[in-house]
Amino acid sequence: MGRRRLRDDELRPASPRASERGRLAAAGHSVRVRQELRLQSPSAAAAVVNGRPANGTMEWKTPGGQTYKEWEAQQLSTAPAS
């Protein structure tokens, strides 16, 4: 099965379509992913969780508070050269 871009109505956790499809479920102040979602970017994933457009490279954080952007830069700087 190939990848497809999710439509805006599929990116909002509060969307009836997302709930009907069983992909996302509200869990208190969180959103639980109930089925695998293939998203094309950290921002698309952040939009799903937040229910609004989001800059995923800045909103996703490690438990230590490092942004995804900082984490990715660190990973790339320590990767062995090919």
For the chain, the domains span: 8-75
Residue 19 makes CB contacts below 8 A (sequence gap 6+) with 25
> Is the Cβ–Cβ distance between 41 and 54 less than 8 Å?
no
Here the tokens at position 4 are: 């497809």
**Residues 14-66 pLDDT 10s:** 444 555 467 777 777 667 777 787 888 999 888 877 778 889 999 999 889 99
The region that residue 65 occupies, defined by phi over 0 for left and psi between -120 and 50 for alpha, beta otherwise, is: left
Mean pLDDT of 3-16: 50
The more confidently predicted of residues 58 and 2 is 58
Closest CA to 46 of 2, 82, 37: 37
Q: Which residues pair with 67 in a beta bridge?
A: 61
